[in-house]
């Protein structure tokens, strides 16, 4: 991931967004972020928002936002971003209700226990 862009999201507006000065003032308020977020143009109807706090990045990525009287979609920025193509990546939130504490480690979640599977 490019330096400084590992916590960046692309906002694709359904219509032309409001001017950049207003976006820079209103977006952090509408999103409820605690840290700084840098907002800049990527392409027509696309802005890039870089967050300095990981928890702000997750907060914004995890919720659906219809703000600033304009609707937009949020998706992760990736190398090779092309505004003429729909993104091939999307956020997926998975829940494991009642997961035992010993399985909270990443290695436990990605390891398949196939005893008796053969």
CATH of the domain at 54: 3.30.70.330
Asked if residue 6 belongs to a domain, the reply is yes
Domain residues for the domain of 72 are 1-81+91-118
The answer to whether 49 and 58 are in contact (CB under 8 A) is: no
Average the pLDDT over 111-116 and give the result.
53
pLDDT tens digits for range 24-35: 888 888 888 999
Asked if residue 52 belongs to a domain, the reply is yes
pTM above 0.85, yes or no: no
Asked if residue 86 belongs to a domain, the reply is no
Query: In total, how many domains does the chain have?
Result: 1
Average the pLDDT over 35-59 and give the result.
90
Asked if residue 22 belongs to a domain, the reply is yes
User: Distance between CA 50 and CA 9 in Å, rounded?
Assistant: 7
User: Distance between CA 50 and CA 28 in Å, rounded?
Assistant: 11
Residue with tokens 């979609």: 73
């Amino acid at each position: 991931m490019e330096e400084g862009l590992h916590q960046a999201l692309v906002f694709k507006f359904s219509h032309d967004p409001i001017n950049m000065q207003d976006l820079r003032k209103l977006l952090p308020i509408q999103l409820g972020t605690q840290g700084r977020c840098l907002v800049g143009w990527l392409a027509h109807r696309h802005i890039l928002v870089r967050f300095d706090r990981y928890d702000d990045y997750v907060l914004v990525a995890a919720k659906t936002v219809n703000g600033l009287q304009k609707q937009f979609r949020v998706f992760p920025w990736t190398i090779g971003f092309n505004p003429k193509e729909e993104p091939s990546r999307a956020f997926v939130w998975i829940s494991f209700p009642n997961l035992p504490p010993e399985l909270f480690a990443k290695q436990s979640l990605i390891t398949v226990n196939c005893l008796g599977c053969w």
